[in-house]
Amino acid sequence: MNGHRSPFSANPLAATGFLIPAIVAALLLAALPLALVLSKAFYDTQVRDAFPQTLEALAGWEASARLPDSAPDALAHDLKSAYADQTLAGAATKLNERSSGLRSVIMGTARRLARGDGTDIAATLQQSSPLWAEPQIWATIQAAGKPFSLVNLGRVFAPSVPAADGAARTIGVYGDMLVRTLTISLGVTLLTILIGYPLAYTLTFAPPGLKRPLFLLSFIPLWMSLLGRAAAWVILLQKNGVVDTVAQTLGLASEPLGLLYSRAGVYIAMTHVLLPCFVYPCYSAMANIPRNHVTAALSLGASGWRSFRIVFLPQTLGGVAAGATLVFVLSMGFYLTPALVGGPADQMLSYMVSEITLKIGDAGMASTLAALLILTMLIGALAIHLAVHLLRRLLLLGA
């Protein structure tokens, strides 16, 4: 038992001190960013910050009542101020989510006011768009000014409605991408298990002279940058590339497979990139199994398959769970490989988070998607561990 004692077993206070850096790192690098993301997802102040005087003028106003006299002047002031500060575009986008076409109305009015066209604010608003005479547009600004909102969450889970002309859908696209991301991640996790477990087994029992070359071949991908590996797969999978040439030479295909910019190409490239992340923890679990366990089972009359199933396999499931969880979590956040190897219908949710953040500037929606991504990762990781636990119980019951 003494071999399992730490150097500070007799001094618990000193042992606890070693946990402080880990606790501080967890708070600063995980808990705090996660809290900020969650707060942005449901607490959005873009409209409130862009229209402070307008919202103050509309306080207590109801759409059925007459518009307050101070509202047009307050709106003009807010539009000019937010336009000059370059904060109006994000707020206009948020309003456009509630009422389609509102962004162009707001930005057009702000540009007209910035040019100083006319001194009569009411007339300028009317000339910019007749919608300013409608109470609904003011009610939309008033409703969007409330910082706490579940609108972004509702947009994610809104039902998909195909466009009338068969074009790309614009409603429910986030929900579709979340399901697609989960499907691809689970598929890649399953492929890495099917390929990685036999590879880890081979590494464990390979002769010493063969083990080192196999290790090098297995883990060389980890030494290369992710961009380099993705670019290599673009070259390999392109039409009439290496994969197509080999498949046609071996008679496996009569024409180019068209793997580049397809879902199959995404599965192949992501599985290759993430395979070492499964193999290493799985190999570690296999290498730590005492060899006399299997020997004892064989000596008691168990067949090779039975000794593997009831002795070896259950002891490796901890490594399988760790590797599968690592692969699944990393897959959920993949961005570069699907962007280079996949087509438009193969992009994952992290791609949409990037687009919304960098091109649209909608921090609230990007945070909502990121929060859902994290929540899905946690649920998926928990499901993997429960599935592995259930498999271990079934194996032991079947023994």
> Is the dihedral angle over the CA atoms 84, 110, 102, 53 positive or is it negative?
positive
Higher pLDDT, 149 or 72: 72
pLDDT at 169 over 80: no
SS3 state at 99? coil
pLDDT at 87: 85
* Bridge partners, residue 384, by sequence: none
Judge contact between 110 and 83, C-beta under 8 A.
yes
pLDDT at 124: 83
Burial 203-222 (b: 16+ CB within 10 A, else e): bbeeeeeeeeeeeeebeebe
pLDDT at 23: 86
Burial 131-141 (b: 16+ CB within 10 A, else e): bbeeeebbbbb
pLDDT at 1: 45
| Other CB atoms within 10 A of residue 11 CB | 11
Confidence class for position 239, pLDDT limits 50, 70, 90: confident
For residues 62-75, give the mean pLDDT.
89
Q: Which of 79, 84, 80 is nearest to 47 (CA)?
A: 79
Judge contact between 44 and 152, C-beta under 8 A.
yes
* Cα-to-chain-centroid distance, residue 255: 35
pLDDT at 396 over 90: no
Counted residue by residue, the chain has a size of 399
Q: What is the pLDDT of residues 104-160, one digit of tens each?
A: 999 999 988 888 766 678 788 888 888 898 898 999 999 888 878 777 777 777 776
Q: What is the pLDDT of residues 268-317, one digit of tens each?
A: 999 999 999 999 999 999 999 998 988 898 888 888 888 998 899 999 99
For residues 331-356, give the mean pLDDT.
89
**Which domains can be identified in the chain, with CATH numbers?**
45-142 (no CATH), 172-398 (1.10.3720.10)
Side-chain-facing half-sphere of 195: CA atoms under 13 Å: 19
Residues 152, 192: Cα–Cα separation, whole Å: 34
DSSP-derived letter for residue 357 is I
Among 71-85, 206-220, 276-290, which stretch is predicted with the lowest mean pLDDT?
Answer: 206-220
Mean pLDDT of the chain: 86
Judge contact between 307 and 321, C-beta under 8 A.
no
Q: Which amino acid is at 97?
A: E
For residues 346-351, give the mean pLDDT.
90
For a pLDDT cut of 70, what percent of the chain falls above it?
93
pLDDT at 165: 53
